[in-house]
Amino acid sequence: MSPIKSPLKSWRSSLVFRVTTTIVSLTIIVIWLIGSALETQISSGIFDEKLRLSIADAQSTARNTQIQLTFSPYQDKAALKLIFTEILAVPPRSFESSARELAVFSFANTNSKFKYAGTSNLVDPISIPESFREKTRKSTATQWERTKLKYVDGKTESAIVVGHVLTIKGAGKYELYVISSLAQQSRTMSLILQYLWLTGVALTFLIGLITFFVLRRLISPIRDAAKVAEELTAGNLELRMDIQGEDEIASLGYSFNEMAVSLQQQISRLENLSKLQQRFVSDVSHELRTPLTTIRMASQVIHATKESFEPTVARSSELLISQIDRFESLLTDLLEVSRFDAQAAVLEIEEVDITALVKETIDYLHPSQDRIIHLWAPDEPVMVDIDPRRIKRIIRNLIANAVDHREDKSVDVQIEQTENEVSIGVRDYGVGFNYTDKKLLFERFWRADSSRARTTGGTGLGLSIALEDAKLHQGEIDVWGERGRGAHFVLTIPKFAGGSIQSKPISAQPD
Amino acid sequence: MTLIMVVDDDQDLAEMLGIVLTGAGYEVDLVSRGDEVMPLFTAQNPDLILLDVMLPGLNGVEVCKLIREKSMVPIVMLSAKGDKQDVVAGLEAGADDYMVKPFDPSELVARMKVRLRRSTAEVSTDLQIGNIKIDQIEHSIIRDGQIIALTRLEFDLLVALAKEPGRVFTREALLSEVWGYRPATDTRLVNVHIQRLRSKIEIDPENPKIILTVRGVGYKAGVPGSPQ
């Protein structure tokens, strides 16, 4: 299991996470809206129904009471009181049904002989607001209002109160109130609300889950494709995508695999070409070298007895030998170049002290002329992972070039290092070159000045090979030069195999 | 007289080699096919073999292996390719040295001389390297009472290291000391032969105790008498 990513990172990196989160958020909003609308609708529906019942109930109660009072045989206070008491003797609320309470008040201007105020079941008279009583007294129609039903013991419930005016001949007017508790409706409402919530949460969760799995299923071929593409890039050309079914995803898979096949064919075609080239190089090498060896030995045998020749023949034998040498180095360089072209050049890495290697090269080139070449190097060994044969060849080439073009001035060789790179700079103060020729320097057989350079020898392939050798090490060769001021060649390579250059300890541009 | 066997399918080159080597004072035997080498080798018993890599009948590397099964005679391969695989294959088959065509005949003669030189009697003491005794007069080496067969080059390499136990030899130093090379030549020669030598004398060649590698520099001898 991979460690849990931060939400922000998941948001950016995972399409599944992003889409699922979006869909879940939208679902929450929609469910909340629908839920609120439903709640309003249902609660008002329930209330309206209750109100209708309450009013009907109050009206019938009022009519009954009115009839009872009107047709009562007794028209004195005691009889009135008896009737009211009877009316108010409502049974207390049973366990499951809502409370229904009554209250009766005599009008303020009623003869004191018939004054009466009473409620059922210890209902506090303040449950009926004075403003509502005022309204009821002034009107002949049925009035209603929402209120809080309060008992003397402090219990309260939300309720509807419906008011009526009773008129009793000879006694005056009385207010009759029927209070219906809404407790039952509140309970129903909260139950419905609870279910609405539960349904909402479950729905959100389900939609999230379904989205997640459907997306995962959709995305997994794309993930596979990405993985296979990575493997292909890494060189595992045999790998293909698994394809199931015949849908759009499968057709993506087919196209992807076709691409991989054509890629593999192209690569193997190029590999074959490269192998063919290598074979050719190797064959040419063998066929040319054997006769060259014979010629060389023959020329040496002839040269060894040149004292007995006429001067022209003796000189000819000398020319023969020097040209055979030149031919040989040209052949060697050409083979090396074609090896680079065929990408058949391989590094043989060793850990080497580069200072020692540069010193050896200088000694090899100029065993006795150390006054011409000055070496500036760190005191401690500079250990690097390189192919010593190739790096030596680069350094030999750069120093030999500098010595050839120095015009009796000295040559400075400098070694500098940083943590991961090492630079070797070769600076001469001789003829130099036009800075615009900088790029041409590394072209094969290019010569700065064809009329004079020919005498200084070299095959014309040296710098081109040096550049290829440097590239093989992930290194670079920087150049600076100016006519009459000399030239500066800087080889920079990473110290460790597989590294790359981040900085350059020596800059080619002189201060 | 010293007899050199020259094995090369190129008639002109073989003849030229014959002229040069005869001029240098050697007796020369020319062979042009790989499969003809073994019968002639047993009959003539040459002192050194110059062996081309590409041969009809049987290639040079195979011939080299066949000779090594019978003899420790010095073998110098003549390679026209100079590519790593060919050189290493030749050296691993038991060749002591190799020359890449086109070579300088004087250099060839110089190197042959190094391979042919007998160890002089100037050092008569027995040398010790690790738990190996080197008898320079008998030209043999003994480990735990057992004689180990080495080619002359391997013997020279071991002696060079053992003579100066404290010294760290660079590959270049070993090249000039044992092979008689100028500096700045191919150091793969040293690597391959050190490995061959280790496989013969070390108890665990992966974890050498007699010939130690000094990283980034070269090789040195293990402490004499140290347990393996």
Judge whether B82 lies within some domain.
yes
pLDDT of amino acid A492: 94
The domains of chain A are located at 1-239, 249-341, 350-494
What is the reported pLDDT for A201? 92
Q: CB distance B17–A297 less than 8 Å?
A: yes
Residue B215 burial class via C-beta count within 10 angstroms: exposed 0-12, middle 13-18, buried 19 and up: exposed
Percentage above 90 pLDDT, chain A: 19
Q: Do B100 and B131 have their domain in common? A: no
pLDDT band at A1 (very low <50, low <70, confident <90, very high): very low
pLDDT at res. A415:
94
One domain, residues B100 and B20:
yes
The pLDDT assigned to A457 comes to 59
The pLDDT assigned to A279 comes to 77
* pLDDT score, position B19: 93
Mean pLDDT for all residues in chain A? 84
CB A504 within 8 A of CB A438: no
pLDDT of residue B101: 83
Cβ-defined contact of A301 to B104 (cutoff 8 Å): no
Average pLDDT of the residues in B66-74: 87
Q: Is the dihedral of CA A350, A352, A358, A364 positive or negative?
A: negative
- Which of the listed residues B116, B136, B161 is the one where a domain comes to its end? B116
Q: Residue B49 falls within a domain, yes or no? A: yes
Residue of A nearest to B8 (CA): A290
Residues B189 and B153 in one domain: yes
Q: In this structure, are B146 and B197 located in the same domain?
A: yes
- B226 part of a folded domain: no
Nearest Cα residue in chain A from B83: A282
Please report, for the domain that includes residue B192, its CATH number.
Answer: 1.10.10.10
In a domain, B228, yes or no: no
Is residue B147 located within the same domain as residue B105? no
pLDDT band for position A112 (cuts 50, 70, 90)? low
Q: Do B75 and B143 belong together in one domain?
A: no
Check pLDDT > 60 for residue A453.
no
pLDDT at B27 > cutoff 90: yes
Instruction: Report pLDDT digits (tens) over A397-438.
Output: 999 888 888 888 889 999 999 989 999 999 999 888 888 888
Please name the member of A293, A298, A381 whose beta carbon is closest to the beta carbon of B101: A293
Cβ pair B183:A364 closer than 8 A: yes
CATH number for the region A1-239 comes to 3.30.450.20
pLDDT in tens, B74-121: 899 888 765 667 777 888 888 888 888 888 888 889 888 888 875 444
CATH topology identical between A249-341 and A350-494: no
* DSSP designation for B179: I
- Pair (B79, B43) in one structural domain: yes
Distance from CA of B29 to the nearest CA of A (A): 18
Looking at the structure of chain B, the number of domains it has is 2
CA distance B59 to chain A (A): 14
Mutate to test the interface with B, among A293, A386, A394 (most CBs of B within 10 A): A293
User: Within this chain, do residues B31 and B70 fall inside the same structural domain, yes or no?
Assistant: yes
Facing A296 at nearest CB: one of B19, B23, B102: B102
**Residues B215, A351: C-beta atoms closer than 8 Å:** yes
**End position of a domain, from candidates B116, B144, B175:** B116
Q: Give domain status of residue B121, yes or no.
A: no
Q: What is the CATH number of domain A350-494?
A: 3.30.565.10
Is residue B181 within 8 A of residue B175, CB to CB? The reply is yes
Q: Is A285 in Cβ contact with B80 (below 8 Å)?
A: yes
Same domain, yes or no: B109 and B133: no
The model's pLDDT over A82-107, given as tens digits with 9 standing for 90+, comes to 778 877 877 666 555 667 888 888 88
Give the lowest-confidence range in A232-246, A380-394, B82-96: B82-96
The CATH code of the domain that includes B70 is: 3.40.50.2300
- β-pairing, A373-376 vs A411-417, is parallel
A456: pLDDT strictly greater than 50: yes
B27 and B86 together in one domain: yes
CA separation, residue A195 to residues A49, A192, A199, A202, A203 (Å)? 21, 5, 6, 10, 12
Task: Return the pLDDT at A432.
Answer: 84
Cβ pair B106:A300 closer than 8 A? yes
> Is pLDDT of A474 > 80?
yes
Instruction: State the ipTM, two decimals.
Output: 0.71
- The tens digit of pLDDT for each residue in B125-140 reads 677 777 788 877 777 7
Domain containing B79 equals 3-116
Q: Is B110 found in the same domain as B24?
A: yes
A352:B188 CB<8 A: no
Q: Do B101 and A290 touch (CB under 8 A)?
A: yes
Alpha carbon of B217: minimum distance to chain A alpha carbons (Å):
7
* Same domain membership, residue B200 and residue B160: yes
Q: Among A19, A41, A381, A450, which Cα is nearest to A212's?
A: A19
CB contact under 8 A, A300 and B20: yes
Comparing CA positions, the residue from A303, A409, A39 lying closest to residue A189 is: A39
Q: Which CATH number fits the domain A249-341, given the four candidates 3.30.43.10, 3.30.70.20, 1.10.600.10, 1.10.287.130?
A: 1.10.287.130
Residues of A with CB under 8 A from a CB of B: 282, 285-286, 289-298, 300-301, 324, 328, 346, 348, 350-353, 360-361, 363-364, 381, 383, 388-389, 392
Nearest residue on chain A to B185, alpha-carbon basis: A389
**What is the average per-residue pLDDT within A366-381?**
81
Among positive and negative, which fits the CA dihedral A446, A448, A450, A456? negative
3-state secondary structure A222-259: HHHHHHHHHHHHCCCCCCCCCCCCCCHHHHHHHHHHHH
Q: Above 50 in pLDDT, residue A451? A: no
Using a CB-CB cut-off of 8 Å, the residues of chain B touching A325 are none
Determine contact, residues A179/A103, Cβ cutoff 8 Å.
yes
In a domain, B122, yes or no: no
Check A388 against B17: CB less than 8 A apart: no
Last residue of a domain, one of B116, B137, B155: B116
